[in-house]
Amino acid sequence: MLIVSQIIENFESICNSLDKRNFNAKHLLGDVIKFDKDRRATQTKLDELLSEINTLSSKIGSLYKKNEIDKANILKEKVHTLKNETKSFSKKLIESKEKINTALLDIPNIPHELVKKGDSEDDNEIIFDSQNLPKYDKSHLTHWDLSKKLNIIDFDLGSKVTGSGFPVYLNKGAKLQRALINYFLDKNIDAGYEEVQVPILVNEKSGIATGQLPDKEGQMYHINEDNLYLAPTAEVPVTNMFRDSIIDSKSIPLCLTSYTPCFRREAGSYGSQVRGLNRLHQFDKVEIVRIENPRNSYKALDSMVDHVKSILSELELPFRIVRLCGGDLGFTSALTYDFEVYSSAQKKWLEVSSVSNFETFQSNRLKLRINENGKKFLAHTLNGSALALPRVLACIIENFQEKDSILIPKALRSYTGFDKISL
């Protein structure tokens, strides 16, 4: 979330930066400035009234001491009138602050200078390609066909139990899923991330603090009775562990990893792009989250990119890294790198990870600050998928398939206890 003073001081540059997102910010930013002007005028008037009340109250005390009761009572009546006025101005002040906050919540993060203007994913920049694409074999089956053949994932059974987008993992498919979770966690822990287990239900404050609300409210599952949301990613509960916190700079960076089921409504998604594991309403993901000093956050982002890169390389999957353009950039992110793995049977790239630096956008909402030698300032927050399981699993099934079997990547065999899945 932007800061009002930042908007006032850098109005034109912020408008130009947000134009990279194809977001016309002038009207909304102008509203913020107007609301803040009203707030300051109201605050000034309220302060004047309170000062006058204090002055009159002091005079009333003196008059009572002098036994000038009539004069004191006249002033008391005036104080009563002024106090009623302060109630009105206090209410107006609260309303002005709410208007400012509501407007600020609708403004996306300012893109980093590396972010190019663009309309969609077609304008993203490829910055790395592993160059190990598998040779296309027309006999290769899609993961949904091969999973059915090998009895490792049942999409129809999931639809029966819940609905589409909720698969049931069976037999060695379930074990492979669990192996991937443990493998990702171990890789993250070895890289210096501390494992935490967090709730998968979050409150409204948590959703607002990390930027899912109000931006993605329609994509989140909501429990009306308790006003709770199913977490769309572990980023939400993990980052909110530090809401309303002041952290000593000596404890920075904070590096955490967590496995959670994730829930997304993905409303309006249809067609081949959502078949099988391509897009689910419930899926497993291992997340990494960092709380960083602003001086070091982009160095940290590079290290996160290198970390995810090393995992995909170890899994021997063909992948590429793309830097998102403004039109494809998430609401909360200043800079995002997506990792895409190639699907041999579907002949297309599937996103498996996003690694992002939010700078102070989330920490301002979180009220998360760093204390460095008595000086307090907003932290930078970062997160990334390391990794999201469905499409990784889909690509393992498709890219490692042989006749009537799937080879298990060498890095996973100590976790699965088997080296292939066969009929």
- What is the per-residue pLDDT for 139? 82
Question: 48-61, pLDDT tens digit by residue?
Answer: 999 999 999 999 99
39 alpha-carbon distance from chain centroid: 30
Task: Give mean pLDDT, residues 240-264.
Answer: 98
| Mean pLDDT score of the chain | 95
Are 394 and 353 found together in one domain?
Answer: yes
Q: Is 340 in the same domain as 402?
A: yes
Q: Is the pLDDT assigned to residue 214 strictly greater than 80? A: yes
Q: How confident is the model at residue 215 (pLDDT cuts 50, 70, 90)?
A: confident
Is residue 66 located within the same domain as residue 146? Answer: no
**Domains in the chain: how many in total?**
2
Q: What is the CATH number of the domain that holds 57?
A: 1.10.287
| Residue 290: inside a domain | yes
Together in a domain, 230 and 317: yes
The pLDDT of residue 172: 98
Residues 167/154, Cβ–Cβ less than 8 Å: yes
Q: Are 200 and 237 in contact (CB under 8 A)?
A: yes
> pLDDT for 75-133, tens place per residue?
999 999 999 999 999 999 999 999 999 999 999 999 999 999 999 999 999 999 999 88
Same domain, yes or no: 82 and 125: no
Do 188 and 224 fall within a single domain?
yes
d(CA 14, CA 334): 13
| Domain C-terminal end among 72, 105, 138 | 105
pLDDT given for residue 274 in this prediction? 77
Hey, what amino acid is at 328?
D
Which residues, in sequence order, are CB contacts of 55 under 8 Å at separation 6+?
A: none
Residues 52 and 91 grouped into a single domain? yes
- pLDDT for 193 equals 98
110 domain-assigned: no
Query: What tens digit of pLDDT does each residue of 123-142 get?
Result: 999 999 999 888 767 788 99
| Cβ pair 209, 239 in contact under 8 A | yes
Residue 238 falls within a domain, yes or no? yes
Share of the chain above pLDDT 90, in %: 91
Domain that holds residue 93: 4-105
Give the pLDDT score at 5: 95
Last residue in a domain, options 48, 73, 105: 105
**How open is the CA angle 333-165-304, to the nearest 5 degrees?**
30
Q: In this predicted model, what pLDDT tens digit does every residue of 160-207 receive, in sequence order?
A: 999 999 999 999 999 999 999 999 999 999 999 999 999 999 999 999
Is there a contact between 163 and 279 (Cβ–Cβ < 8 Å)? no
Residues 178 and 236 reside in one and the same domain: yes
Q: For residue range 323-379, what is the model confidence (pLDDT) as tens digits?
A: 999 999 999 999 999 999 999 999 999 999 999 999 999 999 999 999 999 999 999
pLDDT digits (tens, 9 = 90+) for 9-27: 999 999 999 999 999 999 9
> Would 250 be classed as within a structural domain?
yes
- In this structure, the answer to whether residues 136 and 256 fall within a common structural domain is yes
- Residue 276: CATH number of its domain: 3.30.930.10
Strand partners, 128: 321
What is Dmax (Cα atoms) for the chain?
106
HSE, CB side, 13 Å, CA atoms: give it for residue 94. 5
Same domain membership, residue 82 and residue 166: no
**In angstroms, what is the C-alpha Rg of the chain?**
27
Q: Are residues 398 and 272 part of one domain?
A: yes
Structural domain contains residue 245: yes
pTM for this predicted structure:
0.92
* pLDDT mean over 260-287: 84
Same domain, 336 and 202: yes
Residue 49 lies in a domain: yes
* 113 domain-assigned: no
Lowest mean pLDDT among 61-65, 204-208, 307-311, 330-334: 61-65
